[in-house]
Amino acid sequence: MSNKTALKLKKPELLAPAGNLEKLKFAIHYGADAVYIGGKQFGLRSKAGNFSFEDMEEGVKFAKKYGAKVYVAANIIAHNENLEGAQSYFKKLYEIGISAVIIADPALITACRQAAPDLEIHISTQASITNWRTVQFWKNEGIPRVVLAREVSIKEVRQIKEKVDIELETFIHGAMCISYSGRCVLSNHMTSRDANRGGCAQSCRWKYDLYEDGVDESVNISEQNDEAYTMSSKDLSMVEHLPDLIDLGVDSLKIEGRMKSIHYVATVVNVYRKIIDSYVDNPKEFKMNQQWIDEIWKAAQRSLTTAFSYQEPTESDQLFGIPDRLPKYDFAGLVLAYDDRTKLATIQQRNSFKVGDEIEFFGPDFYHFKQTIQLIWDENDKPIEIAKHAMMMIKVKVDHPVNYYDMMRKGK
């Protein structure tokens, strides 16, 4: 970690993914300063919920209420047929009140500038920016922020920040692409789905085996009981190293995951919000809390790595061999109300739970407690043993006060 100065550290933006309107609200409620979303066109996550213009309007209205921003990813690598309608699309985003668009393709940058010259443009990680001269190029083009490639090290971030006065955005958490800055053609080859236009089939995460050329293809040459191979990376996590990026003056810390669950978004945002605030408020006395690290693992889908941040990745950074055993949790319920007199919480069920289950409540600012479910009442105040119907409204007696939009999780 770099030397801490007596000067007040700049608090970076915490930027969270939002695959749909509900996830946007959770991300902001749990501490995101900004969210990035995708529209129905020009984005790289065609399988995410994605936003209609009406949803965008509601999302922007909600974000402004909490002092947050909404960015739209329009980061495909466009072919000729993909450019139709780009100008009208960007014009509409500007009218809605989107704070910035994230673009990789110069053709789309041109379309945006022609149609909505006052709409801020950020250069996407898909542009593979790995050196300060490229950053300087985009600054000279009038771009206020670039999203660095995931292949950039901490040392290189420092050099870029020293050389060019521009906002830098870096990924701090989430899935890593095995291909250079996400420019993959494996999906195209295997499924005819273009990863660079939003159709990635995640072929790298499939399980593969080895076969000898020209020999019976039903007989593989792996050792018995060997785990099948993948070609994919562990997920990125900078949870234990966030102060390094804050010390460098990185302007925006970005979480990957527009296709991830509400539980993932809320949990990961909650942890990074707590670390950022704790470190910036008192860097000299800051200590990493093991509970923050443990909490990140509750949302992990794969093993974690710092990827390119400190050294070139090795086989230990790949998903290779028998996978690690990870904690598994379900988002069991959402708190909608709490009666301080009766100690009853009104909860919207999201996954099945029953009397006798150990559950955990958590909320913004890293509020947590565990308890065992003793009694459940349905919406007619009738005692029940199990809350098994999706989105049903129930009441549960809780050991400690809870608040609106606190979440309840259950281990699998």
pLDDT tens digits, one per residue of 113-162: 999 999 999 999 999 999 999 999 999 999 999 999 999 999 999 999 99
- What is the model's pTM? 0.90
Same domain, 262 and 313: yes
Asked whether residue 260 is assigned to any structural domain, the reply reads: yes
pLDDT tens digits, one per residue of 377-401: 999 999 999 999 999 999 999 999 9
CA distances from 351 to 179, 258, 411 (A): 35, 21, 11
End-of-domain residue from the set 274, 293, 317: 317
Asked whether residue 3 is assigned to any structural domain, the reply reads: no
Average pLDDT (34-43) is: 90
Q: How confident is the model at residue 408, as a pLDDT?
A: 98
Percent of the chain with pLDDT strictly greater than 90: 72
The two tokens of residue 319 are 């998903």
Asked whether residue 249 is assigned to any structural domain, the reply reads: yes
- What is the spatial distance between Cα 95 and Cα 164, in angstroms, rounded to a whole number? 31
Same domain, 29 and 98: yes
Asked whether residue 212 is assigned to any structural domain, the reply reads: no
End-of-domain residue from the set 271, 294, 317: 317
Asked whether residue 1 is assigned to any structural domain, the reply reads: no
Same domain, 403 and 289: no
Q: How many domains does the chain have?
A: 2
Same domain, 254 and 377: no
Spatial neighbors of 112 by CB under 8 A, at least 6 apart, are 74, 86, 87, 90, 101, 103, 119, 121
> Count of CB atoms within 10 A of residue 315's CB?
7
Average pLDDT (249-278) is: 96
Name the strand (E) or helix (H) holding 276.
helix 262-281
Same domain, 354 and 246: no
Burial class (CB in 10 A: 0-12, 13-18, 19+), 217: exposed
Range with the poorest average pLDDT among 15-29, 224-238, 345-359: 224-238
Spatial neighbors of 239 by CB under 8 A, at least 6 apart, are 172, 173, 271, 272, 275, 292, 293, 296
Domain that holds residue 357: 329-411
Same domain, 58 and 151: yes
Asked whether residue 182 is assigned to any structural domain, the reply reads: no
Q: Got the DSSP string for 284-353?
A: GG----HHHHHHHHHH-SS-EE-TTSSS---GGGB--SSPPP---EEEEEEEEEEETTTTEEEEEESS-E
Asked whether residue 262 is assigned to any structural domain, the reply reads: yes
Same domain, 349 and 394: yes
- In this model, does residue 2 exceed pLDDT 60? no
- What is the spatial distance between Cα 404 and Cα 270, in angstroms, rounded to a whole number? 15
Same domain, 147 and 58: yes
CATH number at residue 334: 2.40.30.10
Q: Which amino acid is at 117?
A: P
Same domain, 48 and 131: yes
Name the strand (E) or helix (H) holding 277.
helix 262-281
End-of-domain residue from the set 317, 339, 374: 317
Same domain, 299 and 334: no
Q: How confident is the model at residue 156, as a pLDDT?
A: 97
CATH number at residue 272: 3.20.20.70
CA distances from 331 to 61, 130, 349, 385 (A): 26, 38, 9, 19
Classify 8 as helix, strand or coil: coil
Asked whether residue 215 is assigned to any structural domain, the reply reads: no
